[in-house]
Structure 1
Amino acid sequence: MRFHPHAPRMAMLCLLHAISDCFSSFVVTLQLVLALTFALDKVEAGLLATIGLIGSNLAQPVFGWISDRWNGRWLIIVGPALSAVCLGMLGLSPWLGLTVALIFVGMLGVAMFHPEAATLAARFGAAGSARMMALFMAAGYAGHAAGPWIISTAVSAPGRTFADSWITSLLAIPALLFGLLLIRRLPQAESARDTGPRQRFTALLRGRHRAIWLLIAAQTTRLLALNVVLNAIAHFLEERGRDQQAVGRWMAVYIAAQALGILVGGATSPRYHERTALMASLAAVLVPLWILPWAPAGIALTVIAVTGIAIGWTIPVAVRLGQDIVPGGRRWISGMMMGLTWGTAGLIAPPLVGWLSREWSSHTALIAAGVIGVVALGCAVALPGQARLNDLRGGER
């Protein structure tokens, strides 16, 4: 059996992504514990999660820009290790101010890792293919899903307290190990392959503005629809008299379905036909999105799962297309497509769903997700033609 030549390096990169994203879910999971520890109300505890979201997502384009100007492969090592140390030590912090600093710096570690790592994932794959990007993103989903279980077990297992969160910091050891091994297996020429000569930012985007900003808009609105559905699940089930365990099960199904869609969609989408794939997937997701508000109780969970698969199908395709059409700024566009878009959607969705559910019902929030899905499709339709997108690749084909 012949393995992909980059299989060992890709495996280490995926493990690093899983470790990094594992810590990114700690703050949300620990909201109630932090509220009890520092006598915070629910709004104040939620602000801690917002601080983490700003650090982990909105800062990614900045680190991407830095990596595009200079060789940023060291961020692959520093980012996950910094997250492990800072976020794992939350239980040992005696002051709220120190806790806020640990959250922000630890989540900055998450932001450091993603632009450089996403660019490497694309490099490990064939030109124009989103397969490696899909595998990379699925590994992050796995880590994000494991994070709540890991930190909850560390601080609430029999005989343990919040102070025992430090145990999770031991994940810094495999993070450093995998990072160093990966860097040693990465030739200097390949790591700097697409760093290129330093250019003015305006020069990088010249002739690409329409394609870039429409792609970012399509990704942001797609992820906003995704997050509106995710946040509406609890309200939807509460209105139907279901308990918290049901909420957890439905959310788990929805998130797992997204990961499946990302993995399968990224592996099967045709190369150099991204515009068609994006339009088809964003049109297809409108079917379950618009069925969901009126779905009978017996099939609602199935519709949720289909929505997750369809909405995740071309997320890695969009990221890879962005990297290809900005050849001198791959890490910056990776930060925009994987950080800014997710962060913006994550900041808007919770208050939007809360307001719509309070003033009307979860039914209205789910209708809003369908409307946002239509906007995402419109952005994809407005993208330049595929021939123009291929021209922007800068000789990658």
Structure 2
Amino acid sequence: MLGDSGTLSNNVKTLLALLALHSVLDCYAGIWPIYKHLAGISLGVAGLIATLATTVTWVLQPYFGIWADKGYARVCVIAGTVLTFPMMLLGPVTGLLPSLPTWGGYGILFAAVFLAKLGQAMYHPAGASISGNLDDGRRSTMVALFVAFGWIGYGSSQLVFSYTFRWANTHTEWLLIPGGLVVLGALRWCFPKELHHQGRAGLISSITSIPFGRKRLYVLFAMLCCMSALGQGLFFLLPEFMEAKGYSSWFVHGGALLWIVAGSVIGIVPAGYLADTLGRHRVLVLSLLANLILFFAFVWTPLLPTYGIALLCMGVGAAMNMANPIGVAIGQHLFPEQRSLISGVLMGLSWAVGGTAPWIMGVLASRSDIGIVNALAMLWVAGVLAFGMSLFIETDMASDGDEIQD
């Protein structure tokens, strides 16, 4: 942990900078659902902006992974974080929107969201690689820390932005101060070991080599696309849904998201333990079944007391977000010779496909004959499809108990 002179080692400084950058990145990039609620942006338009920005930028994630592996990981994590900064300017921009042409106002909003999504796509492959390579003997711990700090940033995003928006009279640019300090610190502290894999295959050849037809990878991919759509659709409509159900302002303006993310973080630990003891495929199927039950209860249960809705949010978060890490682990096990590519496909590409959900949910929720609650209820179909597909995933194992023998 400490260098020879008693100072922090380069690896520790890099890790601390990386974790702080991840929190800022996902905090800043995660405010669109609550901003569109605060600014009164049409759900259909807000959904289209989110969908276009997500699908275009996250398809590029494999490219940024290749770029990071060629010696630009530090550039990716710092520049990626800076690209989310325009999101904090949306507060003061709100007052200008009525005086701008419709296309101009929406163009500014799209540019900010697009840059933020581009920053996330640039940051995540490089950040995951840096964290895992800091300590070969504790790779899992390093990656777990990396993931946890991203969730902390995202879970706090809506509360931080919404309360600053209201208390500072839309002057959310003040939130750039902590982010700027973090970036300055990273410029001094973040110096990861660059890998310089110059011989790695290019983006096109990597994509064309994806073995979708082997070992039913297409089933696993489609399942994760459904779960990605479920998550993105839920987060997009969450402020309006909590308001429609009659919950307090705290839950509407980010409290519900905070509890869902808390459940996700807490659920990661037992999910990993259960996957190691019961087998990944069994735990995946059980988590998706639990997701069906809890998501249905979340949508249709009448108004609950504070502790009740908090627990239900945590349960939904835990069940909903188990599928991705377990699904990626199964994919990596099936194709050990292509682990990086498989991770990019099952994480980045599935997220891009699932990014169509905000637009679909926005259009449906805007219709008077459907409404917000019924629109969100329709997402349950994605959970049903994911559960059904999980029963047909190839595990390439003689028994579930062998599945953990990597």
| Smaller-chain TM-score bracket | 0.7 to 0.9
* Aligned with 1:111 (options 121, 137, 142): 121
* Corresponding position: 1:311 with 2:320: yes
3-state SS, counterpart of residue 385 of structure 1: coil
* Corresponding position: 1:213 with 2:218: yes
Following the alignment from structure 1 to structure 2, what is the Cα–Cα distance between the partners of residues 323 and 177? 35
Cα offset, 1:24, TM superposition? 0.4
Following the alignment from structure 2 to structure 1, what is the Cα–Cα distance between the partners of residues 26 and 89? 16
User: Superposition RMSD on alpha carbons, in Å?
Assistant: 4.5
Distance 1:281 1:240, change over 3 A: closer
CA distances 1:29-74 after superposition (whole Å, capped 9, x unpaired): 4336767xxxx76655555444543465443234235445x33413
Q: What is the TM-score of this pair, normalised by structure 2?
A: 0.71
Q: How does 1:24-43 map to 2 (within 5 A)?
A: 24-31=29-36, 43=44
Following the alignment from structure 1 to structure 2, what is the Cα–Cα distance between the partners of residues 313 and 321? 12
3-state SS, counterpart of residue 30 of structure 1: helix
Cα offset, 1:168, TM superposition? 0.4
Q: What is the TM-score of this pair, normalised by structure 1?
A: 0.73
Cα offset, 1:144, TM superposition? 1.6
Q: How does 1:54-133 map to 2 (within 5 A)?
A: 54=55, 57-67=58-68, 70-73=70-73, 74-84=75-85, 86-89=86-89, 96=105, 97=107, 100-123=110-133, 132-133=142-143
Distance 1:303 1:327, change over 3 A: same
* Corresponding position: 1:13 with 2:22: no
* Corresponding position: 1:144 with 2:165: no
Distance 1:364 1:33, change over 3 A: closer
Aligned residues: 378
* Aligned with 1:256 (options 242, 262, 280): 262
Cα offset, 1:330, TM superposition? 5.1
* Aligned with 1:385 (options 391, 395, 398): 395
Cα offset, 1:111, TM superposition? 1.4
Following the alignment from structure 2 to structure 1, what is the Cα–Cα distance between the partners of residues 212 and 47? 41
Q: How does 1:34-53 map to 2 (within 5 A)?
A: 43-44=44-45, 47-53=48-54
| Structure 1 runs not aligned, ≥5 long | none
Following the alignment from structure 2 to structure 1, what is the Cα–Cα distance between the partners of residues 244 and 37? 23
3-state SS, counterpart of residue 124 of structure 2: helix
Distance 1:116 1:323, change over 3 A: farther
3-state SS, counterpart of residue 268 of structure 2: helix
Distance 1:279 1:349, change over 3 A: same
Residue identity in the other structure for 1:76? V
Which residue does 1:277 correspond to in 2?
283
Following the alignment from structure 1 to structure 2, what is the Cα–Cα distance between the partners of residues 29 and 208? 40
- Asked if structure 2 preserves the Cα contact closer than 8 Å seen for 1:210 and 1:384, the reply is yes
- Asked if structure 2 preserves the Cα contact closer than 8 Å seen for 1:262 and 1:313, the reply is yes
* Aligned with 2:292 (options 267, 271, 286): 286
3-state SS, counterpart of residue 84 of structure 2: helix
* Identity across the alignment (%): 22
CA distances 1:138-181 after superposition (whole Å, capped 9, x unpaired): 211211233334444655545x654x616506624423533663
| Structure 2 runs not aligned, ≥5 long | 3-9, 97-103
- Asked if structure 2 preserves the Cα contact closer than 8 Å seen for 1:134 and 1:266, the reply is no
